[in-house]
Amino acid sequence: MAVNRKVELRGVVQGVGFRPFIYQLAHRYDLKGFVQNSSVGVFLEVEGDPPAVEHFLEALQNELPPLARIDTIKSSEIPYSGCSDFEILQSQSRDDKRVPVSPDMGICDKCQQEMYDPANRRDHYPFINCTDCGPRYSIIQTVPYDRPNTSMHFFVMCEACRHEYTDPTNRRYHAQPISCPNCGPRLKAIDSDHQTVAKDNTALKLAVDAIKAGKIVALKGLGGFHLMCDATNNEAVSRLRERKRRPAKPFAVMFPDMEALKASTELSVSETALITSKEKPIVIVRKATKLSVAENVAPYIDRLGVFLPYTPLHHLLLERIGRPIVATSANLSDEPIIRNSSEISKKLGDVVDLILDHDREIVNANDDSVVQMAGDQKITLRHARGFAPKSIKLPFKSKKKILAVGANQKNSIALVFDDMLILSPHIGDLNSIEAFEYFERTVETFRRFYNFEPEVIVCDKHLNYETTKWAKQLKIDQRKSSGGKNSKFKIIEVQHHYAHLLAGMAEHQLNEKVLGFAFDGTGYGDDETIWGGEVMIADNHSYERVFTLEPFALLGGEKAVKEPRRSALALLFEHYTLDEVRSLDLPLLKQFSDNEITLLYRSWKQGVNTPRTSSMGRLFDAVASLADILHISCFEGETGLLMEQLYDRSITGIFPFYFIDSVIKLQPMLNAIIAMDEKKIIVSMFLNTVVEMIFQIAEKYPDLALLFSGGVFQNRVLVEQISRRCAKEKHTFYFQNETPINDGGIALGQVWFAYYYDTK
């Protein structure tokens, strides 16, 4: 006797070829019924023999399309209705929009084959895509993800495309960005006077020739423009550095293929897997001793950010150029990645020689993702294209709609509604008006996607964070407009380092007490000083700060962040008299004039513009300067990179340190460092010492799992040493792997806290 099953599926089930997959499965098992997108997922009914229905349900979970993910599956028996066919029905539209928007995906193998098949009608077509690959988030205005809601709605499908689009057995069935040379977007080349000088293939050829000739080209990718030049051409790279005023910060390099990439790098198995994954992130790896790219691509360091072409256009370009190219996000420093060619002309007109543009609009910007491996730990440095927006299924339904606005640097935002958590792509440092507008635009975008009106807004405790100010201003504005009555939402503030730890708990969905190590640059502490070397016993409801680094001053406040020499000098002031400091034979002291030292000492003594900090990041800086490795940094994270490089595994010594109450005292270590001059030994012993501090503290709490978060854990050596020792000493431990371990994860931690807020 035939049965009828009603099934409701939630997860990543739209825009990923899910309905045609169901359609084909239903035919395989000779079942009747229908499948339909709803605003919460996919809804279907299948009728047929009971064993066939069971097989169908099994296959449905085992043979998912590559981009799909099922979070929940609800099935129930309903009366048999005697359908004669299996159909794909039109989308239902409901008010509560809860289907997660999926990230953009690099070109799939099948599309790549077609693109190089002379018999295919999309031979060498730069916008080829299918239900398994191509743009998603970057072209969506609103949900549901249907063509009229994307920037593809300008393009009218030709007969052939429409046929594929409407044929459930075709691999482009309902591929919303479907197009071909007859009906889709077109390339155009724009010169430095913003004149269109060529179209289609000729435009591509101009870009290829320009890059080969050492010129700088801006090229439109998935979520924004790249600036590109020949990575093997020293002069071209220097020109890009000069014009962009970026003296030393490493550039990422896109290689034509794996073979070329392998020739310039030393890769582990897991690094290879990341580079070739469907998300195609930038992976930071070890340079080979013989390098095919110019030295000034990543000067002074032994690491290189590498990636493979991920759009059909990148493939076509790299295939013709045949050598690695620099591909760096097109933006002005402190501003978000640029999405359209007019802005390139306006802002980077004197940087680029040619723009390779096209007419598929980028609605939502999304930068390249950046990851690296530290031993067997994957560390996410920038969570963006391919991975973001990320949707996480929660263990229970949230009572409130929550928006978390994140940190000021490496900002991202996060949302919670029902049992869904969404983490936005990397937004960036909010140091410019443009960046802040980008933040506001992203908040608007996600509100529109999910019809989302926050009942709770979570922010950092730092009063000067733009995001905190924004939340508070919004509350004031709402109060005013409602005539002094209550605003619609409540604000929750979360301490920065606790938020780091919460981000780790969110990623691993922990609901227990952990011993958390939150080591980063700087964040606002509960006692109004600046924290950053914090050890906390924490759970989802509260925390207790159990250890902290002995604080020292930030000479000149913010200036100290860019000048490691200031942290070093402050540490010396803290532990020696001015005369003693002056008598030291340290290279760092030659970085200041006598007068500067006197002035800085005076302001330190009087506490003028010298906020105190327990920051581990600043301690790294201080040690780098004491060891004469780096006194003024050119880019964020430089200290860490240089230290990793100097680290020598065969040096196993540690510096002395001790605890008084809850403070980690540094004087013995400092005494030892200033008596040494071998950089490699200082750095290796220092990193060993940080690891030792962690495990001496861990010993005091043998029952707690260890959790590590904060920007300092972007340091590969540190993460490797910690994981190794955790394994040896059998500690349960967690790093963030899939979400940013730096300030990009703050919003995630904030939203996780608010999600648990009322559940105590």
Binding site for Fe ion (CB under 5 A): 520, 523, 743
Residue 111 interacts with which of Zn ion, Fe ion, none, CB < 5 to 8 Å by class: Zn ion
CB closer to Fe ion out of 331 and 411: 411
CB closer to Fe ion out of 306 and 712: 712
Closest CA to 256 of 328, 315, 312, 313: 315
With binding defined as CB under 5 A, does residue 166 bind Zn ion?
Answer: no
- Report the 10 Å Cβ neighbour count for 382: 23
Residue 743 interacts with which of Fe ion, Zn ion, none, CB < 5 to 8 Å by class: Fe ion
Phi-psi region of 532 (alpha: psi -120 to 50; beta: other; left: phi over 0): left
Task: Report the distance separating Cα 268 and Cα 238, nearest Å.
Answer: 30
CB closer to Fe ion out of 597 and 616: 616
Minimum Å gap between C-beta 106 and Zn ion is: 9
Q: Are 656 and 668 in contact (CB under 8 A)?
A: yes
Q: Are 360 and 351 in contact (CB under 8 A)?
A: no
CB closer to Fe ion out of 296 and 468: 468
Which of residues 111, 313, 384, 673 is near Zn ion by CB under 5 A? 111
Site stretch for Zn ion (CB under 5 A), options 183-191, 324-332, 357-365, 462-470: 183-191
Minimum Å gap between C-beta 160 and Zn ion is: 5
Between residue 117 and residue 136, which ones bind Zn ion under the rule CB under 5 A?
Answer: 130, 132-133
Q: Are 404 and 386 in contact (CB under 8 A)?
A: no
CB closer to Fe ion out of 364 and 468: 468
Q: Are 743 and 711 in contact (CB under 8 A)?
A: yes
CB closer to Fe ion out of 389 and 523: 523
Decide: residue 412, CB within 10 A, 0-12 exposed, 13-18 middle, 19+ buried: buried
Give the containing element (helix H, strand E) for 10: strand 3-12
Partners of 284 in the β-ladder: 305, 372
Task: Report the distance separating Cα 70 and Cα 611, nearest Å.
Answer: 49
Closest CA to 356 of 195, 128, 203: 203
Minimum Å gap between C-beta 168 and Fe ion is: 49
CB closer to Fe ion out of 52 and 514: 514
Residue 183 interacts with which of Fe ion, Zn ion, none, CB < 5 to 8 Å by class: Zn ion
Minimum Å gap between C-beta 212 and Fe ion is: 43
Site string for Zn ion, 68-107 (x = CB under 5 A): ----------------------------------------
Minimum Å gap between C-beta 709 and Fe ion is: 9
Q: Are 95 and 122 in contact (CB under 8 A)?
A: no
Please provide the DSSP assignment of 593-647 as one string: -HHHHHHHHHHHHHTSS--EE--HHHHHHHHHHHTTS-SS-SSTTHHHHHHHHH-
CB closer to Zn ion out of 180 and 348: 180
CB closer to Zn ion out of 166 and 671: 166
Rounding to the nearest 10 degrees, give the CA dihedral for residues 367, 368, 369, 374: -140
Minimum Å gap between C-beta 579 and Fe ion is: 37
With binding defined as CB under 5 A, does residue 108 bind Zn ion?
Answer: yes
CB closer to Fe ion out of 449 and 735: 735
CA distances from 64 to 17, 20, 99, 178 (A): 9, 11, 17, 21
HSE of 664 in the Cβ direction (CA atoms, 13 Å)? 27
With binding defined as CB under 5 A, does residue 313 bind Zn ion?
Answer: no
CB closer to Fe ion out of 103 and 744: 744
Minimum Å gap between C-beta 752 and Fe ion is: 16
Site stretch for Zn ion (CB under 5 A), options 17-25, 172-180, 559-567, 632-640: 172-180
Which of residues 70, 158, 301, 704 is near Zn ion by CB under 5 A? 158
With binding defined as CB under 5 A, does residue 147 bind Zn ion?
Answer: no
| Nearest residue to the partner Fe ion, using Cβ | 520
Task: Report the distance separating Cα 253 and Cα 256, nearest Å.
Answer: 10
CB closer to Fe ion out of 41 and 523: 523
Minimum Å gap between C-beta 496 and Fe ion is: 6
Looking only at the bridges linking them, the beta strands covering 187-191 and 354-358 are antiparallel
DSSP classification of residue 436: H
Residue 520 interacts with which of Fe ion, Zn ion, none, CB < 5 to 8 Å by class: Fe ion
Residue 47 interacts with which of Zn ion, Fe ion, none, CB < 5 to 8 Å by class: none
Minimum Å gap between C-beta 114 and Zn ion is: 8
Residue with tokens 């910060």: 249
Between residue 651 and residue 670, which ones bind Zn ion under the rule CB under 5 A?
Answer: none
Minimum Å gap between C-beta 657 and Zn ion is: 55
With binding defined as CB under 5 A, does residue 161 bind Zn ion?
Answer: yes
Q: Are 425 and 366 in contact (CB under 8 A)?
A: yes
Q: Are 682 and 676 in contact (CB under 8 A)?
A: yes
Amino acid sitting at position 147: R
Quick one: angle between helices 616-626 and 667-674, nearest 10? Answer: 20
CB closer to Zn ion out of 180 and 588: 180
- Beta strand extents in 384-504 (DSSP E only): 390-393, 402-404, 414-417, 420-423, 456-460, 490-494
Minimum Å gap between C-beta 264 and Zn ion is: 28
Quick one: angle between helices 679-700 and 638-646, nearest 10? Answer: 100
Minimum Å gap between C-beta 703 and Fe ion is: 27
Give the containing element (helix H, strand E) for 188: strand 187-191
Number of residues binding to Zn ion, judged by CB under 5 A: 10
Task: Report the distance separating Cα 84 and Cα 323, nearest Å.
Answer: 57
With binding defined as CB under 5 A, does residue 405 bind Zn ion?
Answer: no
Amino acid sitting at position 49: D
Q: Are 673 and 568 in contact (CB under 8 A)?
A: no
Tokens of 730: 């059998």
Which of residues 72, 92, 166, 182 is near Zn ion by CB under 5 A? 182
Minimum Å gap between C-beta 325 and Zn ion is: 23
Minimum Å gap between C-beta 504 and Fe ion is: 13
Which of residues 9, 88, 105, 180 is near Zn ion by CB under 5 A? 180
Residue 133 interacts with which of Zn ion, Fe ion, none, CB < 5 to 8 Å by class: Zn ion
Amino acid sitting at position 52: A
Tokens of 301: 């360091």
Residue with tokens 């309905």: 19
Residue with tokens 């097989």: 55
With binding defined as CB under 5 A, does residue 183 bind Zn ion?
Answer: yes
Sign (positive or negative) of CA dihedral 655, 656, 659, 665: negative
Minimum Å gap between C-beta 115 and Fe ion is: 43
With binding defined as CB under 5 A, does residue 112 bind Zn ion?
Answer: no
With binding defined as CB under 5 A, does residue 201 bind Zn ion?
Answer: no
CB closer to Zn ion out of 99 and 111: 111
With binding defined as CB under 5 A, does residue 198 bind Zn ion?
Answer: no
CB closer to Fe ion out of 230 and 743: 743
Site stretch for Zn ion (CB under 5 A), options 117-125, 160-168, 644-652, 685-693: 160-168
With binding defined as CB under 5 A, does residue 222 bind Zn ion?
Answer: no
Contact positions vs Zn ion (CB under 5 A) = 108, 111, 130, 132-133, 158, 161, 180, 182-183
